[in-house]
Amino acid sequence: MTTLSGSTTEIPFDELAGALRGEVITPGDPSYDEARAVYNAMIDKRPAVIARCRDTADVVTAVRFARDHRLEIAIRGGGHNAAGFGVWDGALVIDLSGMRSTTVDPEQHTVRVDPGCTWGDVDHATVAFGMATPSGFLASTGVAGLTLGGGIGYLSRRFGLTVDNLVAADVVLADGRFVTASETTHPDLFWALRGGGGNFGVVTSFTFRCHDIGEQGTIIGGPVLYDIADTAEVMRWYRELLPALPEELSGWLGLITIPPAAPFPEELWGRKACAIVWCYTGSHDRADEILEPIREFGSPLVVGLAPMPFTVLQSAFDALYPAGLQWYWRADFFQEISDEAIDVHLRYGATLPTGHSTMHLYPIDGAAARVPEGATAFAYRDGGWAGVIVGVDPDPANAGLISDWARSYWDELHPTSAGGAYVNFMMDEGSDRVRASYRGNYDRLARVKAVYDPDNTFHVNQNIRPAGAQS
Ligand SMILES: Cc1cc2nc3c(=O)[nH]c(=O)nc-3n(C[C@H](O)[C@H](O)[C@H](O)COP(=O)(O)OP(=O)(O)OC[C@H]3O[C@@H](n4cnc5c(N)ncnc54)[C@H](O)[C@@H]3O)c2cc1C
């Protein structure tokens, strides 16, 4: 095992263990394999040491220890990252999964969140007060990685991306200093954190703005499923309908295999379908009128729209996608769902290689699209969708099958895309793809990186190289 300094055998990990409140795990410890596992079981990295930090002081100590002993650093929040950047061969992993407190301020409409929280933790805390902050479409995803990449979810049409609702972040920098970034303190760092990923430091606390949703947190939502043969018709209707809908209503589209589980009717289990999962967060008085075009359209197999706590919709797919499956991702942004793209979706939707494999299109419109491209590091603000093709299966023997399907699908779909991809949906795809994903914001990100992390200490991520560094 090698590191920046060569071998790890001389490194005094017992000193690190003595200095931290949290646990320190090295190869040979009984919990090492469990501690190095991340959500995507295709990732098999062997870090030199895992520092399970309990508080900000532990993070400062871990960063300084890594610098002193020339260890690479990987940062783990929720461990969900597609490319598996929460762990790294030979690195010191700053594992934040033990830091999971939340503090809601119902009067100020804010929530302060520890860096190891999942969105399930945050929704649990805020929906009790009838409010939420925009996150994603799943509860088990980590707050830290999702936020730092942008954050696209059910509430984005109405309230913007997750980063548009970030009020402040506490950060441990590469030299061990601790700063708070906001519009008024370290504004350049704050700008970069809102989309620039884990490139700038270890965030130890996030403060988000919250919004009242539904009726005391009860929204109306759920899936509407159509036969896969209706995909072209559904996609054409959806691309026209969505921009005309009030922003209280959002819906993402997916090509799926109907899961063999309740609440889906048994006769539909295993059938391929085109799904739209809707979420209406407005006043229930207007729900019938607003949802009417959805109830009226086509010949759905299932209409699963119902009132439910927002937490229920957010966690609806968690059981279907537990940790430990094989995942291979490919992604792009799309300004439109063109007829050419629909032809590709028809072919690959009909050949989903396994029951878990899927393609999703998540809207980036409404409030998310009204934020100017240069206002935060997240660059693709001009409307459209973040698309993701994921080959997924429990069996490692199918890793090749799901990866080949996702790659071929992406190869054919990419020419219809806007060029770059959402960094949180990318594998380790190289610097040209990272640059394409930040468009005109890349050069400013590189300049901020040169100020806050000139040695590129935080490089286990979709890496932004410090301006002026040799490539
Ligand atoms: C099943 C699934 C569903 C998803 N759904 C959505 C969705 O609906 N919307 C959406 O926007 N995204 C979604 N994503 C993508 C998700 O945003 C990314 O996977 C994200 O990286 C997860 O964050 P994490 O903290 O769990 O990841 P980790 O693997 O822990 O970390 C991801 C990256 O962030 C960095 N990082 C983590 N914590 C910190 C920190 N505290 N400070 C600095 N850097 C840090 C890491 O270095 C790494 O580069 C989904 C992912 C999965 C697997």
389: pLDDT strictly greater than 50: yes
Under 8 Å between Cβ of 168 and 343: no
383 band by pLDDT with thresholds 50, 70 and 90: confident
471: pLDDT strictly greater than 60: no
328: pLDDT strictly greater than 70: yes
pLDDT digits (tens, 9 = 90+) for 11-49: 999 999 999 999 999 999 999 999 999 999 999 999 999
Under 8 Å between Cβ of 314 and 227: no
pLDDT digits (tens, 9 = 90+) for 420-452: 999 999 999 999 999 999 999 999 999 999 999
- How much is the pLDDT for 469? 80
3-state secondary structure (DSSP) of residue 368? helix
Q: 144: Cβ below 6 Å to ligand 1?
A: yes
Amino acid at 52: R
Average pLDDT over the chain, rounded to an integer: 96
Unique residue bearing structure tokens 């930040």: 438
Which residues partner with 303 through β-bridges? Answer: 224
pLDDT digits (tens, 9 = 90+) for 65-106: 999 999 999 999 999 998 999 999 999 999 999 999 999 999
- How much is the pLDDT for 68? 97
- How much is the pLDDT for 10? 87
400: pLDDT strictly greater than 60: yes
- How much is the pLDDT for 262? 85
> How far, in Å, is the centroid of ligand 1 from the Cα of 292?
35
In whole angstroms, what is the distance from residue 14 CA to residue 438 CA?
41
Mutate-to-test residue for ligand 1 from 36, 54, 60, 80, highest number of ligand atoms within 8 A of CB: 80
285: pLDDT strictly greater than 80: yes
Mutate-to-test residue for ligand 1 from 50, 73, 76, highest number of ligand atoms within 8 A of CB: 76
* Spatial CB neighbours of 434, under 8 Å, sequence gap ≥ 6: 423, 426, 442, 462, 463, 464
- How much is the pLDDT for 377? 98
Residue 327 backbone dihedrals phi, psi, to 5 degrees: -130, 135
Q: 418: Cβ below 6 Å to ligand 1?
A: no
> How far, in Å, is the centroid of ligand 1 from the Cα of 376?
18
350: pLDDT strictly greater than 90: yes
- How much is the pLDDT for 19? 98
Q: What is the mean pLDDT of residues 183-211?
A: 98
Percent of the chain with pLDDT strictly greater than 90? 96
466: pLDDT strictly greater than 80: yes
- Does the pTM exceed 0.95? yes
- How much is the pLDDT for 3? 45
pLDDT digits (tens, 9 = 90+) for 113-128: 999 999 999 999 999 9
2: pLDDT strictly greater than 50: no
Q: What is the mean pLDDT of residues 200-222?
A: 98
Q: What is the mean pLDDT of residues 369-398?
A: 96
6: pLDDT strictly greater than 70: no
In whole angstroms, what is the distance from residue 241 CA to residue 252 CA?
12
> How far, in Å, is the centroid of ligand 1 from the Cα of 411?
24
Residue 172 backbone dihedrals phi, psi, to 5 degrees: -95, 120
Mutate-to-test residue for ligand 1 from 424, 425, 428, 459, highest number of ligand atoms within 8 A of CB: 424
381 band by pLDDT with thresholds 50, 70 and 90: very high
Q: 251: Cβ below 6 Å to ligand 1?
A: no
* Spatial CB neighbours of 384, under 8 Å, sequence gap ≥ 6: 333, 334, 335, 336, 363, 364, 365, 418
The runs of H, that is alpha helices, within 319-398 are 339-349, 367-370
Instruction: State both tokens at 455.
Output: 């040695």
pLDDT digits (tens, 9 = 90+) for 155-176: 999 999 999 999 999 999 999 9
- How much is the pLDDT for 124? 98
Q: 316: Cβ below 6 Å to ligand 1?
A: no
- How much is the pLDDT for 1? 37
DSSP state for residue 366 in the 8-state scheme: T
Q: 151: Cβ below 6 Å to ligand 1?
A: yes
Under 8 Å between Cβ of 428 and 350: no
